[in-house]
């Protein structure tokens, strides 16, 4: 009931401060690892909870990037689609983005270097939402290939994933940097999805080198975890240490 109330409020254009500072997430990373690829959350519902974010689509059909309230679907064919609000996601996280801090990456700065610099943000142990926008001298991405039932586990599903390389490209990366204690719930550390400026290509970011890139970060101290209530989720084995598995599918 609370969820419906918030959605109605937001559609009316007046999100509460708490909602603006909230990371809204559907399902968990461990459920995705186990092959729970069909969710009930519609993209319309997701858009009522934020204007930027990342995730995937039912049947693991590509990478989701929400930029300025618009949901883009980067599929394994390398093309970008605009799915309707009725389409569904098994795993996504979004927030209403309002930058708390901005800075420019040094020319030549890489994804690895950014990963190492998060400690400087003075927001230790809080979830951070990121928007990186500008010119990248190099970007490498991947896009998850659509699965058919019976679903394989994520590590197997992504064993043969198409990868894409971009040189001297303008675009935007959106995503999150989450503390270690999120492991299992979500990806601990950075998770970014890329979209070119012309919105025709992108994907889950594996590597980048910055040329002229502005970084904006939004600290989101509230977390709203919406768990599925269907049998597939309830029966999935979500325990154990999956650190190596996550390393294999996210990097």
List contacts with Zn ion (CB under 5 A).
Answer: 204
Q: How far is the CB of 191 from Zn ion (least distance, A)?
A: 6
Kindly report the backbone phi and psi dihedral angles of residue 16, in degrees, each rounded to the nearest multiple of 5, phi listed first: -70, 160
Nearer to Zn ion, 204 or 224 (CB): 204
Nearer to Zn ion, 19 or 111 (CB): 111
d(CA 74, CA 162): 11
Nearer to Zn ion, 202 or 228 (CB): 202
d(CA 225, CA 170): 33
Q: How far is the CB of 161 from Zn ion (least distance, A)?
A: 11
Question: Are the CB atoms for 206 and 142 separated by under 8 Å?
Answer: yes
To the nearest 10°, the Cα dihedral for 42, 47, 50, 56?
Answer: 50
Q: How far is the CB of 227 from Zn ion (least distance, A)?
A: 20
Element (H, E) at 224: strand 222-226
Q: How far is the CB of 203 from Zn ion (least distance, A)?
A: 8
Nearer to Zn ion, 22 or 141 (CB): 141
Nearer to Zn ion, 10 or 173 (CB): 173
Nearer to Zn ion, 100 or 250 (CB): 250
Structure tokens belonging to residue 12: 């009316």
Question: Are the CB atoms for 155 and 245 separated by under 8 Å?
Answer: yes
d(CA 4, CA 120): 38
Q: How far is the CB of 144 from Zn ion (least distance, A)?
A: 8
Q: What is the DSSP string of 199-213?
A: SS-EEEEEEEEEEEE
End-to-end Cα spacing for the chain: 38
Q: How far is the CB of 84 from Zn ion (least distance, A)?
A: 21
Kindly report the backbone phi and psi dihedral angles of residue 178, in degrees, each rounded to the nearest multiple of 5, phi listed first: -115, 145
Instruction: Tell me which residue has its CB nearest to Zn ion.
Output: 204
């Amino acid at each position: 009931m609370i969820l419906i109330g918030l959605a109605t409020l937001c559609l009316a254009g007046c999100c509460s401060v708490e909602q603006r500072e909230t990371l809204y997430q559907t399902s968990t990373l461990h459920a995705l690892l186990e092959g729970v690829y069909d969710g009930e959350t519609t993209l319309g519902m997701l858009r009522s909870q934020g204007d930027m974010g990342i995730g995937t689509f039912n049947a693991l059909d590509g990478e989701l990037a929400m930029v300025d309230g618009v949901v883009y679907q980067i599929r394994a064919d390398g093309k970008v689609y605009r799915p309707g609000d009725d389409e569904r996601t098994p795993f996504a996280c979004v927030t209403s983005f309002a930058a708390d801090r901005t800075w420019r990456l040094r020319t030549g700065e890489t994804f690895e270097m950014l990963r190492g610099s998060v400690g400087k943000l003075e927001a230790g142990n809080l979830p951070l939402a990121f928007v990186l926008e500008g010119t990248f001298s190099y970007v490498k991405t991947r896009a998850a290939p659509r699965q058919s039932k019976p679903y394989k586990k994520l590590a197997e599903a992504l064993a043969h994933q198409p990868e894409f390389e971009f040189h001297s490209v303008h675009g935007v990366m959106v995503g999150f940097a989450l503390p270690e204690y999120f492991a299992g719930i979500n990806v601990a550390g950075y998770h970014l999805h890329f979209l070119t400026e012309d919105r025709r290509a992108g994907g889950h970011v594996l590597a980048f080198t910055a040329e002229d890139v502005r970084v904006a970060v939004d600290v989101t101290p509230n977390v709203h975890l919406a768990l599925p209530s269907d049998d597939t989720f309830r029966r999935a084995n979500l325990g154990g240490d999956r650190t190596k598995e996550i390393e294999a599918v996210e990097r």
